[in-house]
Amino acid sequence: MYKVFVNDKPLYLTNEIRKETDFQLFLLDGIDIGALISRMFSNKVQKAWLYHPDEKEALKALKSKLPVSKAGGGLVYNNKGEVLFIFRNGKWDLPKGGTEKGEEMEDTAMREVTEETGVKKLSIVRKLPKTYHVFKRNGHYRLKITHWYEMKSSYSGLLKPQLEEGIEKVAWLKPSEIPLALDNSYENIKLLFEEEYT
């Protein structure tokens, strides 16, 4: 199952049919994906399941309907076990950004962490699950696929928010502070912490 967030509301791409309770079920073959996304953006649909016997086909169909943006980001731990967060648009988030032509995704993720936060001395520990979300830019919907990496850093210097990207602050949060930050974060960011904090 793929979980795609549309305006922070879940759209599940699934190969299971379930009885509708608090969500609406749509068949991939019979739905206008663009219209469904538009209805989710305008709060007419709060939660949806998009069914196809092969959920990878559902993801392919979504990719064929929307331009795809690829990004890389980091869930970064320091030597004290604190996690690096950024604060932008009134919410806590993790550093991430778009890939440049010819760039490997791991390099994108490390470059974006350094650019957005000032944190250096990064090393990748492991690949984390990708996240998917639909956003609107210049009146058009796009699907953003973010490749996440768990990283560690021994950097103890100044944190520098990338102001031109709208980042207001950067902070190392202690494990005890993370659940509160996640209460004011995005659903796709919460997914990365599911095992530990939810």
Q: What is the pTM of this model?
A: 0.90
Distances (CA, A) of 95 to 136, 147, 170, 187: 20, 12, 9, 15
110 lies in the same domain as 26: no
140-153/68-77 β-pairing: parallel
Query: 68: which residues sit within 8 A by CB, 6+ positions away?
Result: 142, 143, 144, 145
Residue for token pair 């980091």: 74
Domain that holds residue 186: 68-197
33 lies in the same domain as 102: no
20 lies in the same domain as 100: no
Nearest 5°: the CA angle 154, 76, 189 is 170
Confidence category of residue 122, pLDDT binned at 50, 70, 90: very high
131 lies in the same domain as 172: yes
Helix (H, G, I), strand (E, B), or coil: what is residue 100?
coil
Flag whether pLDDT at 196 surpasses 70.
no
Per residue in 160-176, pLDDT tens? 999 999 999 999 999 99
Cα–Cα distance for residue pair 119/110, rounded to 1 Å: 9
Query: What does the pLDDT average to over 103-118?
Result: 98
170: its two tokens: 């950067």
The CATH number assigned to the domain holding 154 equals: 3.90.79.10
56 lies in the same domain as 94: no
Q: Which of 19, 44, 65 is the last residue of a domain?
A: 65
146 lies in the same domain as 167: yes
107 lies in the same domain as 29: no
51 lies in the same domain as 76: no
Cα–Cα distance for residue pair 59/33, rounded to 1 Å: 11
Per residue in 76-88, pLDDT tens? 999 999 999 999 9
99 lies in the same domain as 185: yes
59 lies in the same domain as 79: no
122 lies in the same domain as 101: yes
Q: Which of 26, 45, 65 is the last residue of a domain?
A: 65
Q: Contacts from 161-165 at CB under 8 Å and sequence distance 24+?
A: 161/86, 161/87, 161/116, 161/117, 161/118, 162/115, 162/116, 162/117, 165/88, 165/97, 165/115, 165/116
91 lies in the same domain as 143: yes
Total domains in the fold of the chain? 2
Helix (H, G, I), strand (E, B), or coil: what is residue 141?
strand
